[in-house]
Structure 1
Amino acid sequence: MAAPPLESGLKVVHALDGRLRLRAVNNPSGGVLEVIAQQLRQEDGIYAVCTNEVTGSLLITFEPSQLSQSQLLGQLQQAIKSTYVAGKTQPIKRSPQVAYRFVQAIPGRVRFRIPRIAHDREYAQRLQMLLAADNQIIKVRLKSAASSLVIGYIPTKYSDTKMPLHLAKLIELASDEFTSTSSKSVSTQQLTREQGNSWSRLRLPALVSVLSLLAGPVGLSISPVIVGGSIAIASLPVARRALECIIEERRLNCDFLDLTAIAIITAGQHFLTSSSMITLIELGEAIRDNTARSSKNQTLDLLSSLGQFVWVERENQKQQIPIEQVQPEDTVIVYPGEQIPVDGHIIKGTALIDEQKLTGESMPVVRTKREAVYASTLVREGELYILAERLGADTRAGRTIQLIEAAPIHDTRIENYAAKIADRAVLPTLLLGGAVFAATRSPARAASVLTIDFATGIRVSVPTTVMAAMIQAARCGILIRSGRALEQLSQVDAIVFDKTGTLTQGNVSIVGIKTTEPTITPQRVLELAAAAEQRLTHPVAEAVMRYAKSQEVKIMPRGEWEYQVGFGIRGQIEGQNVLVGSDRFLQQAGISLEQLDGTHSELKREGYPTIYVASNGQLQGALQYTDPLRPESQQVIAQLRTVLGAQIHMLTGDNRQRANIVARELAIEPECIHAEAFPEHKAEVVRRLRNQGRTVAFIGDGLNDSAGLAYADVSVSFRDGSEVARETADVVLMKNDLRSLTEAIAIARYAKEIIAQNTGIVAVPNLSGLALAATVGLHPMVATLFNNGSSVIAGINGLRPIFSGRRSLVKGK
C-alpha cells in the first residue's frame, strides 16, 4: 500500500539546540507516531521522543554534540520508511512517556528538566525511589518548583557520556505505576537511612576508640589483631575518599596523608592515637555533610497555573482547544478572570491586566489594541483578542524558567582558603616525613610528622563554625541553606533589591488628599471617592476603601454607575454625578485640572500616582497613592551602604517615574536604578555585576525574581514570598523583615572571623610540633596531642556563634 502522507508530510514546527518539534500535515493512522518514536529511541544521541497523536506532533530531545539536526532528520526519514516497509503498521504496546530535557553536565553530576515533576507528585516520588535504589547515585536534588532534577553519581560504572542515557531510562521507567506498597516502604526506609548516614558514620570510629582505650590505658587483655583490624575497618571511608581523589582528580589530598599516618601509627600499635584521629576526621565530615543539606521541594511553576484549554477564533468561529494545540498566528480570546496563555499583541479589546506574576508589580496596567501582552499575566477586567506570537517555553514566562535551569550549579559544601592550604601541604608533609625516616630510620618519628597534618583541625573547626552559625541564624528566624551561602554572605559587596514587596510593602496605600479650595474638606473628597469605588476589585479602589474605613468615613449609597476599564467610574451619589478616575477620564468629561495644579504645585513634583474626584462637573480634589516603603527599608539600606560599604541596586518592573520616587527616599543613585525590568533583565544585571568582580546578593520575593535569585552569588527571599523564590533562595528571612538581612550578614562575618581565628589556633601548635618532630623527634602520642588538641580547641571555639547571642551589622563589623 502507499505510504500515508506522514512519510512526506512532516513539518518542522520549531528547532532549537537539542530540541526538534515536528507535526504531521495530515492526521496519521493510530499508533504510527509511536512506532516511529520507538525506533528513534534506540538511536545514539537521542534522549527522548514524545508523541501526541491528538495533535499529530513529535518532540525529539537529543544531544547536539553527537547528532546534528540534518543527521537527526535523516534518521527520522529512515524510521518512517521502515515503519511502512511491511505495508502496514504493527500494533504496539504503549508505555507512559515523559517529556524531559538534558540541561547540564559536569563530571559526576548531571541536570535534567522534567516538567511532569512540577504537577505530578506521585511520579516525582516514584522517580526519587528509583534513583535512591541505584548504588551509583550518591545525591539527588529534585526541585519541583523549577521542574529541575540534579543527580550526583560515582563516575566508575558509567562514563559521563553514558550516565545521562542510563538516567533517562529511569526517568521513563518512573512513569509506570509499578511501585507496590512494599517497594514504597523499602524505598522510603532507604531514603530515611540516607538522611541518617552522616551521623551514623561516627558509630564505628567511636566504638574503635573505646576499644583502643580499653586495650591501652585501661589495660584489658584484648588481642592487638582485633583492635588493629577494627581500626582498619573504621578507616575504610578515609581510604575510599583518598582513592577517589587519586582516580578522579589525579592528585593526593589530606585523606591520603591521614590514611598514611593511620597506617604507620597502627602498625606501631599506637591504637588510641590512630582511632582518635579517625573519630575526629569523620566528625568533621559528618558536620560538613549536614551543613550541605538544602530544604525540601515545593511545586509551582510560572506556566503550571495556565489553563489546560484555550479559546481561539479560527475561520470566524470560536472554539475551545487544548493549550498544546495553539499555533503561532492564532487569534486567542481571553475573558475576565483568565490568564493569558501566550505572548502576543492585542488585535481587539481593552483590559486591565495584573502582571504581578511576571513583573512583580502590584498595580494592574491597562493594555489596548496593538500593545504587547505576556503569558501568565491575568486579565482582571475586559476582554482581549490576541495574536499569538510565542508559545510555551518560548514565552517570557517560559524563558524565565529556562534561565533558572541554566543557572550555575554550585557545590553546597563550604569552600574556604584554609582547606585549600591544608591540601597544598600534603606533598610537602609527605616529603618531610620521608626525609625524617631516611635520616632516622624511625617509623615512629616519620609517623609523628605525618600526624601533624593541619587537615584534621580544619576539617573539624570550619564545619563546626558553619553549623553553629547556621543554628544561631535559625534561632534568629533566618534560614541559611548551606555553608557556601554563609561564606558568600560574608563577602557580599553588591546588593540588588527588587522593589515591590521587598523594599516596599507590596500593597497600594493612600498617602495624601488634596482639595481644590479650603471650603472642601479632605474628608468630603474621601467620602465621594469611597462611595463611587465601593465593591470594585481594582487595587486602587480597595486602597480607597481601606483608607476610608481607617478614617471612619461613612460610605454613602451609590446609585446608577458605569465603570470604564483603565479610566475610572461614574456614579450617582446623593443626587450628584460623581466621577472618580484618571486625569484623562475627567478631561474627556470636560473637567479642567488647572485649579488643582495651581493650588498644589507639589503634585507633579512629588510624582505620586493620582486619582481625581469631581462632582456635578466641578473638580473637588485628588487622592495620591503609592506602594509605601517597608518601615525598616531606609535604616537597612543606610546600614548596608555605610557599614558594609556595599553598592546598592534597585530592580523593578515598574515605570521609571515610580522607581525614581522610591530610589529618592532611599538615596539610591540614578545609575543603580533599573526600571521596567523583566526577569531576564534582572538576571542580566546580576551577571553584569558578577563580571565586574563583585560578590552579589539578590533580594526578592516574587516569581519574577527567580531568575535573578538563581544567578546571584547568594540569594535571599522571604517566608511569605512566592514558592519558587523561596526554593531558589539560599537564605530565607522567616520574619519577613529586612532587618534580618543585616543580622544574617553580621552572623556570616562573625563566622568568617572565627574561621580565621581557628586557622591560627590549628596552625601555630602544629607548626611548632612539626618543627620538633622533624628535629628532635616526638612520640606519636605527643604529636597527636599537638594535632588533635588544637583541633578540639578550634572546634570548641567554632561553637561561639551559638553562645554569642543576637548580632547587628554595626557591632559585627
Structure 2
Amino acid sequence: MYEVVHSTLGRYRIRVPRLADDLQFAEAVSNLLESLQFVKEVRINSAASSVVVDCKASAARDSTSHSKIQEVILSCIEQASYTKQANDSDSKQTATDSFDDLDQIPEVNQWKDLGMPLLSFTLAMMAAPLEVPPLIVGTAIAGAALPWFNRAADSLIKHRHPNIDLLDSVWMTMQTLQGQYIAPALKTSLVEIRRSFRGQGEKSREQKAWDLLDCLNQDVLVERDNVELSLKASELEVGDCIKVSTGDFIPVDGVIISGAGLIDCYHLTRKATPVHCGAGKKVYASSILLEGELFIEVKRTLDNTRIGLVANIMQTEPVYDTQIGLHQAEFVKNAILPTLLLGGTIFAATGNLGAAISPFQFDFGSGIPISISTTFLTALTYATENGVYIRSGRALEVLSQMDTLVIDESVLMYLHAIGSDVTGVINALQQQGISIYIVSYNLNQQIALHPDYILSEANPQKHLNLVRGLQHQGRTVAVLQDRYNYKPEFKIGDVSISIARNESVAEETADVVLLDSQLWGLIYGIAIAKKAMQVVYENTATIVVPNLMMQIGGGMVLGINPVWNVIVNNSSAFIAEFINSARTDFDSIPAPASLSCYKQQKKPSMLAIAPGSAELALPVTIGSERWRHAT
C-alpha cells in the first residue's frame, strides 16, 4: 500500500501508488493528515505517487516523537484507503476532474515500461527478412499501443469527449492494417523513451530536492548567551549566531558578522568559481566554506532559505496553472473531431488512406504543455536561486505580461529606510513601458504628485477600486503591497508582489516575493519571466513548423514514408523538451547589480512620470523628506 521513501525529524515522504490515479483517495489522505495537530503542511504529488508531510517544529524534537509521528501518518494513509470522501468535496473534485480533462500534465514512464514497445519495434524490423507472421507483429504493436487505446477509451467514457490519444490510436491501427509495421512500432518506442527520460528527470529532481533538504538539517554550532551549543538547524531562530569552519556546509541564509573565507556556492548559483566573503556579506544555505572561519547571523532556515524554496518547487512542480496551457489544451480538445473529419474528407476525395490519416500525426499535444512544464520549472527555480521567489507558472506568466504596477506607499517608505534605490527601479520600469501608480494611506503625508498617478487618503476599498478600474481598461496589473498593511484575504491585482522581511517566507501570501528586500529583484523577475515565455514560443515553433511541413507537404502531398513523419514528430518534441527548455540560458540575463543603467546615482535624481503632456518627479530621498513635485 505504501513505502516510506524518506524520513527525518519533522519531514516524511511516503510513496503510495494509489495516489497516481485515485483523486478521491488522494484528497482523503490530505484531509486526514491536515487534521493532525502536529502537521504543518501536506503536499500530494500525484505524478510521483507520493505524499510529503511537514511537521511543526515543536513536534519534531526527538527520535521517540519521530517514530510515533510516522506511525500516525501511516495509519492515516491506511484509514483513507477505506474512507469515502465527504460530500463537501464534490465541488473541488469537479474542478480537479476538469483540470485533468484538459490533459495538461505530460505522461511519465519508467524504463521498465519500454519492454513491449521495443519488442514490437524489433519484430517490425524483422518482419520482412524473417517472414514473421503479420498476426504476431500486429499483436505486439497492439500491446505496445495499449496505453493509447486505454486513455482514448477513458476520455470517451469518463469525460465524454475524444482526446489526442484517439488520433494516435486510429493512426497506428490504420498503419498496422496496411502492413506498415515499422512506423507505429517506432512511434510507441520513441514516445515511451521520451516519457521514460521525463520520468527519470522527475525522479532525479525530487531526489535532489530531498538531498538538499537533508543537508539543511545538520548539526551546527550556535552561540546563545555567550555559550556555544550544538543544535539542529531546525532549532535555529532568526538572529542566532552560528559558527562555520573550513569544510562546513552552511545550513542557513544569513549575513557574515565576522571572519572571512572562500565559499563554494555551486549548489545555488551553478557557478564553479569560489567567492571570497567577509563581514557584511550575505551567504546562502547549501554553500560550502572552503577556507577560513565565519560567524553568521541567521536570517532564514530550512524551507525559508533560497535552496529550501527551490527544493519545494522541485517537489510540487507548480507549473500547470497557466492560461497559455489551458488555451492550448482547450484547442487540442476542440481540434480532434475536425481533424478526423478532415481525414475522412481527404479519403473520400482521393481514396488515399495514407494521405487521409497523415493529419492525425499533427503534434497538437506535445508542444506547449511540454515546453511549459520544463521551461517554467527551470525559470521558477532559477529565479528563486537568484532572490525572486515566484510561486507558480501562472504568476510567472502574468509577470511577463504586466504593464501596470500599483505600489503601496508603505513599501516605498520601508525600502527607503533600508537604503534601496527606489527611484532607479521605477525609472527602469517606466523605460519598459510599465505605468506606475502609488497608493497613500497616510492622511498626514503630503505627496505632491499628479492626481492621475496618486491615490491619497486611501482605504482598502479605494485601493481595490483603483486596481479594478485599471483592469477594466485592459491592463495587466501587479500590486506591490506590504503584508503588514493589508489582510491576506484582500488580495487584488493580476499578480501580487511583496518584499520579504527576515521572518518566514511561508507567511508571505503574495505570488512573487522579493527575497533580498530590494525592488531591483522585480526587474530581474520580469526579465526571467519574459525569457521563459520567449522560450515557450520558440519551442512551439520548433515543433509546429516541422510537423506541418512533414504532415501536409510530406504525408498528404508527396506521400513520404510515415516513418519520417514519426522521426520528425518525436525529434522536434525531444529538442523542445530536453534541450531548449531544460537548458534555457537564463544566465544571459544580466543581474541588476551589473547593469550600468541600473546603477544608483550618487545624488538625488528626479523620476519623470508623464500622463499625457504632464511630467512629474519623485526625489530619490523619500520617507524622511516630503514628496516634491516638479514639471
TM-score range, shorter chain: 0.5 to 0.7
Alignment of 1:649 onto 2:432: no
Alignment of 1:720 onto 2:509: no
Q: Percent of aligned positions with the same letter in both sequences?
A: 28
Structure 1: stretches of 5+ with no match in the other structure: 1-107, 145-178, 192-196, 296-409, 507-626
The alpha-carbon deviation at position 457 of structure 1 amounts to 2.8
In the alignment, what sits opposite 2:535? 754
Asked whether the equivalents of residues 375 and 581 of structure 2 are also in contact (C-alpha less than 8 Å), the reply is yes
- Counterpart Cα distance in 1 of 2:167 and 2:38: 42
The one of 577, 581, 603 aligned to 1:798 = 581
In the alignment, what sits opposite 1:777? 559
The one of 170, 177, 185 aligned to 2:74 = 185
The alpha-carbon deviation at position 697 of structure 1 amounts to 1.0
The one of 283, 305, 323 aligned to 1:415 = 323
In structure 2, the CA distance between the partners of 1:281 and 1:418, relative to structure 1 (3 Å rule), is: farther
The one of 434, 437, 443 aligned to 2:344 = 434
TM-score, normalisation: structure 2: 0.53
Deviations 1:461-509 (A, max 9, x none): 2332222222321332222222211111111011122222x32326xxx
Asked whether the equivalents of residues 469 and 802 of structure 1 are also in contact (C-alpha less than 8 Å), the reply is no
Task: Name the amino acid aligned to 1:689.
Answer: L
- Counterpart Cα distance in 2 of 1:226 and 1:811: 66
Asked whether the equivalents of residues 265 and 273 of structure 1 are also in contact (C-alpha less than 8 Å), the reply is no
The alpha-carbon deviation at position 721 of structure 1 amounts to 7.1
Structure 2: stretches of 5+ with no match in the other structure: 1-22, 56-67, 81-104, 210-317, 598-631
Deviations 1:673-699 (A, max 9, x none): 234444444344333322222111112
Alignment of 1:503 onto 2:412: yes
Using the TM superposition, name which of 679-688 and 280-289 deviates more. 280-289
The alpha-carbon deviation at position 791 of structure 1 amounts to 1.7
TM-score, normalisation: structure 1: 0.42
Aligned length: 407
5 Å-filtered alignment, 1:154-233, equals: 182=71, 184-185=73-74, 187=76, 201-203=109-111, 206-216=114-124, 224=137, 227-228=140-141, 230-233=143-146
Q: Secondary structure of 1:728's match?
A: coil
Task: Name the amino acid aligned to 1:271.
Answer: A
The one of 714, 722, 742 aligned to 2:523 = 742
In the alignment, what sits opposite 1:272? 186
In structure 2, the CA distance between the partners of 1:254 and 1:727, relative to structure 1 (3 Å rule), is: farther
| Higher relative helix content | 2
Q: Secondary structure of 2:584's match?
A: helix
- Counterpart Cα distance in 1 of 2:377 and 2:72: 35
Task: Name the amino acid aligned to 2:439.
Answer: L
The alpha-carbon deviation at position 744 of structure 1 amounts to 0.7
Task: Name the amino acid aligned to 2:413.
Answer: T
- Counterpart Cα distance in 1 of 2:168 and 2:486: 45
Task: Name the amino acid aligned to 2:147.
Answer: A
Asked whether the equivalents of residues 403 and 477 of structure 2 are also in contact (C-alpha less than 8 Å), the reply is yes
In the alignment, what sits opposite 2:389? 479
The alpha-carbon deviation at position 737 of structure 1 amounts to 1.8
Task: Name the amino acid aligned to 1:798.
Answer: S
The one of 417, 421, 438 aligned to 1:632 = 421
Deviations 1:243-296 (A, max 9, x none): 37xx54x654434434433554566542121342355579789999999xxx9x
- Counterpart Cα distance in 2 of 1:190 and 1:743: 47
Q: Secondary structure of 1:711's match?
A: coil
In the alignment, what sits opposite 1:300? none
The one of 450, 457, 467 aligned to 2:367 = 457
In structure 2, the CA distance between the partners of 1:629 and 1:181, relative to structure 1 (3 Å rule), is: closer
Q: Secondary structure of 2:323's match?
A: coil
Larger Cα-atom Rg? 1
The one of 226, 235, 250 aligned to 2:148 = 235
In structure 2, the CA distance between the partners of 1:424 and 1:282, relative to structure 1 (3 Å rule), is: farther
Deviations 1:221-240 (A, max 9, x none): 99647743542443367436
- Counterpart Cα distance in 1 of 2:506 and 2:450: 26
Q: Secondary structure of 1:122's match?
A: coil
Task: Name the amino acid aligned to 1:648.
Answer: I
The alpha-carbon deviation at position 732 of structure 1 amounts to 2.0
- Counterpart Cα distance in 2 of 1:190 and 1:200: 28
Asked whether the equivalents of residues 391 and 512 of structure 2 are also in contact (C-alpha less than 8 Å), the reply is yes
The alpha-carbon deviation at position 803 of structure 1 amounts to 5.3
5 Å-filtered alignment, 1:243-392, equals: 243=156, 248=159, 251-265=161-175, 269=181, 270-277=184-191, 280=194
Alignment of 1:701 onto 2:590: no
- Counterpart Cα distance in 2 of 1:491 and 1:122: 41
- Counterpart Cα distance in 1 of 2:498 and 2:331: 34
Q: Secondary structure of 2:445's match?
A: helix
- Counterpart Cα distance in 2 of 1:226 and 1:710: 57
Asked whether the equivalents of residues 682 and 708 of structure 1 are also in contact (C-alpha less than 8 Å), the reply is no
Deviations 1:393-448 (A, max 9, x none): xxxxxxxxxxxxxxxxx995222155555555433322222234445656554443
- Counterpart Cα distance in 1 of 2:203 and 2:453: 39
Q: Secondary structure of 1:705's match?
A: coil
